[in-house]
Amino acid sequence: MSYSTWDIEDKVSQDIKGGLDAFSSELRQLKQQVQELLTKLYSFEGEDGCHKERNIEEEGIDIDHKCSDIDDIKQLILKSQSLYTNFYQLSETVICLRSIDQSNERYGAWMDEINVISGIYQTCKSEIDKLLAEQKEEQLDKLLSSIDMTELKFILNERIQQQRKKLAPEMEKAFQLTEAPGLHAWGDLYALINKKVSSKLLDRVIEKEPANRPTLNTIRNSIYYGEDRLQRIETFELWKEVWQGEADLSAAALNHIAGYRLSLYESRGYESILEESLLQNRISESSVTAMWQAVNTYNQPLIDYLKRKGELFQTDKLSWSDQLAPLSLGDGKRTEIGFEEAISFITNQIQSFDQEFADFIVMAAEKKWIDARVINTKSIGAFCASFPKWGEPRVMMSFFNDLPSVGVLAHELGHAYQYSLMYNQPMFLQDIPPTVAELSSTLTETLVMRQAVHQASSVQEKIQLLDYQIIRDIGTILNTYVRYLFEVDFYHRRKQGFVPVEELNELMLNAQKKGFAEVFDSYEPTFWASLRHFYMTSKPFVHYPYTVAHLLSTGMYSLLMKEKNGGELLRRMLTDSSRLSVEEIGLKHLGVDIQQESFWKTSLDAVYENVALFLELTHDMK
């Protein structure tokens, strides 16, 4: 049995008569249904909204009844949730298909259509939220207290609060209608730039190694993770050179994405550029600030680790590409592990913690929920998609038969498990923010890799496992801090006008030096261009939530390991993630105040236990 290829096309064929050939028709039908809901909302409220400027008395309208039928509003909410389920399902399908074959133009066209439908749906959502926000308190209480709305009360209250921060209806609608051409289109342009750069990079590498002809994913993986340092740095320099050649187009895309958002924020009167992101992630700015203050103050152990890695790499000039590169010990080769062996390895580690979770991992592999092939057409990176109508997740990654790939697989299976716990909840509650969506994934990776260190059969294997975990910490803590510093500085600078390539390079260089305490001798000024996360248009400031989840899950790990029934506690915490803020999760399940810098320092201290052991074990190595 092959465990490395998923079954999405077969599942689509079961759902849709005609399979993928009929997918365009499904999108058209969904678009029509969403448009019909929007039309109904407009007719329900009146063209300009429930409280439009007009003479109520002259028109003979009863102000208490002009838009207040509770049953009608409930039906609109439930209909919008049903359509969102369909939209989410089709959107995830396209994302998965496109991730496997980026060159397929049909998938690109479907993604364009998904973006258009998303814009219409967001307008529907806004109209419903506006309708709810305009209700009298007694009417609103009656609505949210009704039996069929009880489970949605938390999320609807959250949406009402956000709605009250928005613009007048006609202005908000204008922004929503321009999302596809004015925001998402720039993200699509970046996808084309990335494709062009990837093609150039492949050509340049093959030109240097005509007999080898590596795959594109292998080349991109080697830029940061390659075991041959000289080859890695050579490829890294090519990578920077190719991206610099396309930097003007990337700068245009990045500037226009930020420009669109800043216009929206200014129109809404947001005091902070982070306000929308903070609301979406259910976390306060004081908590994020406290976290980054702790990282900036207590980063020395990670800097010491990087310096030690430089010694082990036998170089006194560290490169930006060294930060995530693994050690090659003994015979110079990394430990190899096949995909099926990796599934068994992860299952065994999780089994010692919770049998139910371990059974889920076996099921995910056996039911072909994972695509781990290494192929040229595949997108870089990894993700887990959720299919609410199937009640099943899917994992996409490129498995390179090494320990880092095992960690990535464990991470994505953690996402999959959290999704599986959400399927018995209403769809609106399944769509959780990254700050809590990353809890299970990060915790799973920690569980697997820390247990593996304890069970390592040799000092060499223990060092390699520690190295992998610290590399993950470097990426999620310091590298993400760099992204945060750059993006905040860039958005403030963008308020003054278009930011050219040279200045973007300078902003990135400054962020890299500050984030890593100037430990490197060479950097990647074009990191702002090459990192696709900066061009994700669905949500702003997507980086810091991963650090929040990473450090919060460290505290969770310590707690769960002390519990007799840690698996059950984990399930309660993950279920609560759909209806609590990050601060509330910290207080309820960990008994901590995450708005205090002391909490984040304690979490960092737990992270640094691995660093101390690594430095001890490698002390006498050359």
Q: How far apart are CA 255 and CA 251, in angstroms?
A: 6
pLDDT over 70 at 63, yes or no? no
**pLDDT classification of 449: cutoffs 50, 70, 90:** confident
Helix pair 459-473, 300-312: axis angle to 10 deg: 130
Tell me the pLDDT tens digit for each residue of 277-305.
999 999 999 999 999 999 999 999 999 99
* Mean pLDDT value of segment 13-34: 92
Tell me the pLDDT tens digit for each residue of 67-100.
447 889 999 999 999 999 999 999 999 999 999 9
**pLDDT classification of 361: cutoffs 50, 70, 90:** very high
* Mean pLDDT value of segment 336-350: 93
Q: Which pLDDT value is given to residue 178?
A: 80
In three-state secondary structure terms, 62 is coil
Tell me the pLDDT tens digit for each residue of 571-613.
999 999 999 999 999 999 888 899 999 999 999 998 999 999 9
pLDDT over 70 at 177, yes or no? yes
In the chain, % of residues over pLDDT 90: 61
**pLDDT classification of 331: cutoffs 50, 70, 90:** low
**pLDDT classification of 333: cutoffs 50, 70, 90:** low
**pLDDT classification of 330: cutoffs 50, 70, 90:** low
* Mean pLDDT value of segment 390-395: 97
**pLDDT classification of 515: cutoffs 50, 70, 90:** very high
Q: Which pLDDT value is given to residue 343?
A: 96
Q: Which pLDDT value is given to residue 46?
A: 38
Q: Which pLDDT value is given to residue 334?
A: 61
pTM of the model as a whole: 0.82
Interacting residues of 424 by C-beta distance below 8 A, sequence separation 6+? none
pLDDT over 80 at 171, yes or no? no
Instruction: Tell me the one-letter amino acid at 157.
Output: N
* Mean pLDDT value of segment 234-245: 92
Torsion of CA 90, 91, 96, 100, to 10 degrees: 100
Interacting residues of 469 by C-beta distance below 8 A, sequence separation 6+? 407, 446, 449, 450, 453, 610
Q: Which pLDDT value is given to residue 62?
A: 40
- What is the number of other CB atoms lying within 10 angstroms of the CB of residue 96? 21
Tell me the pairing of strands 370-371 and 392-396.
parallel
Q: How far apart are CA 479 and CA 489, in angstroms?
A: 16
Q: Is the dihedral of CA 445, 446, 448, 450 positive or negative?
A: positive
Q: Which pLDDT value is given to residue 175?
A: 80
Q: Which pLDDT value is given to residue 85?
A: 97
Q: Where are the alpha helices (DSSP H) in 495-565?
A: 501-515, 527-530, 544-562
- Worst-scoring range by mean pLDDT, 25-29, 34-38, 119-123, 219-223? 219-223
Tokens 């969904």 belong to 30
Q: Which pLDDT value is given to residue 555?
A: 80
Mean pLDDT, the chain, whole residue set: 89
Q: How far apart are CA 611 and CA 313, in angstroms?
A: 17
607 contacts 554 by C-beta, under 8 angstroms: yes
